[in-house]
Structure 1
Amino acid sequence: MVFASATETIVGPPKVLTVRETYSPPNASRSNGRLVPIKHAPDSKADFGAEVYGIDLNNFTSADFDFIHDALHRHKLLVFKAQPEMLRPQQQYRLTACFDPDEQTGGFAHGADPVLLTENGVTIYGLPNRPAINAQPQVHILGRGELPENYFDFPPGFNVKGIDHVDFHVPPHIPREERDRGASRFYQWHWDGALYAIPPPRVGCLLAVRTPKGPDVTVHWGDGTGRTMGIAPGATAMVAGSRALEVLDDETREVVLNSRVEYAPHAFRWMSTARSTQLGHTIVTEGKEVPLDELPPWSEEKICVYPMVWTNPVTGEKSLQVHGQGAFKLYLKDKPDGEERIISDLKEVREFMHKIMSPALSPENIYAHPHQEGDVILWYNRALWHSITEFPESYGPRIMHQCNIAASDHPSG
């Protein structure tokens, strides 16, 4: 088995037909889709999410997609239940790509994948914690643990590398023995996107292939508040950007409504040597970021500068959508015609990110989705934040198929 080194040239995966070349939907005038809103706990302030029944995603029609498109923008998270069989990678890509018919490249939202390994004449692309499926290379495998037998083109015994807070968060870390008993952390609060050059996806899609089996875990905030939250093992935690905007004080809300964030060039490479706060929403300012002149080549015109608040094109709802870890510079205004104040000191940038993100990161605002094998979730990436959560290795593998593709446009408010 030959693994790519960190210095190898990034190469694109083999070409796979795009949705435009494969999509010829059956004639159908009406969808059989049915929505059941998710029932949140009585003390929950989460107000998003619905289960979907009556649509086979491996055979969805144009009428089904119209139903899905409207439902997703109104509910922000859809959970497709009672699927007759596992969603095929080609159909997962088709579903995701249909949300952006103007997008021309069909490319993975984080750019081209490197070669991961070559064995017996088969090349696998991706990263150890995010290998791509050759049959549809925009679909990646996330999670932790050994893949099922005879899994696509992967060699026998292939393991997906897991990630945990010990490798990323600033100490103190949760001791191994406590993690083995179910103590957990939010790894990283974010929306999906490269934060440089490539527009962030409109939607994200996850298929649960294998889910960990065991008692609920307890997520610890680790921020000195003592807050905890019980959730299903391997759950994906989510917060609505609309709720994040709502819980701000009036003065701060007015600022974010009129302000912008500039993200670092090659933001994930830039932050790769730094450490996250224990809550996973910002970076600790220690001067450990990769210097800009040591990053891969970058240009000013590819720097991403986004409004802090994005608008749902179907409902008009506004959501606070910021990526606290990739933030590099702020352009603050307290009213539309106000004077713009530029903040470039990273410590100040992160203090402001903490100020506007932390109020929403409270148990009553978080929905931790408990994945069930065979289910598919689809979320509106431009209105929700999400984070993976840790679980004991003894609970078994977590194998998920994720598809998110670059959008045709950058968010404009």
Structure 2
Amino acid sequence: MTPTFHAIHPLFGAEVQGVDLSRPLPDAVFAAIADAFERRSVLLFRSQAVDDAAQVAFAARFGPLETVRAGAVGGGTHLITLTNVAPDGGILPPTHEQTLHGLANRLWHTDSSFKAIPALASLLSAREVPPEGGETEWAGTRAAFAALPDELRRRIDGLTVRHDFAHSRAKVDPDLAVAATRAAFPPVTRPLVRRNPLTGEAALYLGSHAAAVDGMGVVEGRALLDMLTRHATRPEFVYTHRWRPGDLVLWDNRATLHRGRPFAAGLHRRTIVRATIADPAGRLAVAA
């Protein structure tokens, strides 16, 4: 088993061929994949017949796995199921809380930036996909940072940002930002620019959970975050993935933004399963 890597975007991302993730990988093969992950940020694996156990086993080789929050499908386990399918096999109504949380995934974000321990990586497995729509887009925030003017890079390097789960959910529906949500996930402080510990490359670290810039007024801080998000998600920095059943995508949450695209959720079923790898090295103090 020898992996090969083929670029899927000029600036980041690679398709990995020659591996079978349904069984354990030899150490040398995993090391090659881990190195590509650090350097390419997004890795695509096609036609992988993985079950839940195989997905968890592969993800866990990158680090400790998050436990899914209570109330989500898969709460208390290491896999969250993102689906519009109801327990009885029908399709969930558009007003269902699970559907509304799914809408929040259509905002540019990086997973778990609002948690005390943020996410290192996510591994998404396509189990059932609609015939059209429902793509996922990734933006390479290392390339985006490198493309900023020198003066702006210097100005924002060292700034910190408050990330808040309730802030992002309120963009979809104010009823999702209830007191229990705020109590479970109080705001946390994150650097606006993060560096890869192996390569030293810097990346913008922002997204829908980013609520305010420390030391700036609300209007000024929001204007800066919105401008940087628009810059980071320009077409030249974005890879759009059209899902096929059996696709797995692994991505670096430290160096990308991502979002889901709309599909006819009232007509077509979609079920994808995600494991999230925690990043203890990225932990910063929870904001007061």
Task: Note if 1:90 corresponds to 2:90.
Answer: no
Within a 5 Å distance, the mapping from 1:121-160 to structure 2 comes to 126=72, 131-132=73-74, 137-145=77-85, 155-157=87-89, 159=91
Per-residue CA deviations over 1:99-133 (Å, capped at 9, x if unaligned) read 12xx4xx432xx6413xxxxxxxxxxx2xxxx118
Structure 2 residue corresponding to 1:273, chosen from 163, 166, 170 = 170
Which of residues 68, 72, 76 is equivalent to 2:37? Answer: 72
Equivalent in the alignment of 1:358: 230
SS in 1 for 2:137: strand
Pairwise CA distance, 1:55: 1.3
Assess, with a 3 A threshold, how the Cα gap between structure 1 residues 348 and 193 changes in structure 2: closer, same or farther.
same
**TM-score, normalised by the number of residues in structure 2:** 0.83
Larger radius of gyration: 1
Helix, strand or coil: the match of 2:236? helix
Structure 2 CA distance, aligned partners of 1:347 and 1:406?
32
Matched, 1:63 2:28: yes
Indicate the larger mover: 366-375 or 156-165. 156-165
Offset of residue 315 of structure 1: 2.2
Contact 2:166 2:181 in 1 (8 A): no
Of 197, 204, 213, the residue aligned with 2:131 is 213
Q: Deviations over 1:356-407 (max 9, x none)?
A: 2212222232111111111111111111110011012476212101111433
Of 215, 233, 241, the residue aligned with 1:369 is: 241
| Correspondences of 1:9-408 after superposition (within 5 Å) | 31-38=1-8, 40=9, 46-61=10-25, 62-83=27-48, 85=49, 87-100=50-63, 103=64, 106-108=65-67, 112-114=69-71, 126=72, 131-132=73-74, 137-145=77-85, 155-157=87-89, 159=91, 161-163=98-100, 187-193=106-112, 195-197=114-116, 199-214=117-132, 233-263=133-163, 267-274=164-171, 295-296=182-183, 304-330=188-214, 342-343=215-216, 345-393=217-265, 396-408=268-280
Q: Deviations over 1:15-60 (max 9, x none)?
A: xxxxxxxxxxxxxxxx52222222x4xxxxx511111122111212
Per the alignment, in what secondary structure is the counterpart of residue 272 of structure 1?
Answer: helix
Deviation of the 1:325 alpha carbon: 3.8
Number of paired residues?
A: 278
User: In the TM superposition, what whole-angstrom CA distance separates every residue of 1:323-380 from its partner, at most 9, and x where no partner exists?
Assistant: 35432342xxxxxxxxxxx11x322221110122212222232111111111111111
Secondary structure of 1:71 counterpart: helix
**Structure 2 residue runs without a partner (length 5+):** 93-97
CA 1:164–1:293 in 2, change beyond 3 Å: closer, same or farther? closer
Shift of 1:275: 5.4
Moved over 6 A (4+): 287-294
Per residue, is there more helix in 1 or in 2? Answer: 2
Deviation at 1:305, TM superposition (A): 1.8
Task: Show the counterpart of 1:177.
Answer: none
Q: Judge conservation of contact 1:310–1:321 (CA < 8 Å) in 2.
A: yes
Supply the distance in 2 between the matched residues of 1:65 and 1:293 (Cα, whole angstroms): 40
Runs of 5+ consecutive residues of structure 1 not aligned to the other structure: 1-30, 41-45, 115-125, 147-154, 169-185, 215-232, 277-286, 331-341
| Counterpart AA for 1:55 | V
8 Å Cα contact 2:114-2:209 kept in structure 1: no
The CA RMSD over aligned residues, in Å, is 3.2
SS of the aligned residue for 1:99 comes to coil
Aligned residue type for 2:130: P
Which secondary structure does the structure 2 equivalent of 1:253 belong to? helix
CA distance in 2, matches of 1:270, 1:262: 10
Q: Is the 2:3–2:17 Cα contact (8 Å) retained in structure 1?
A: yes
Q: Distance in 2 between matches of 1:307 and 1:36?
A: 32
The aligned amino acid for 1:57 is L
The letter of the residue matching 1:65 is F
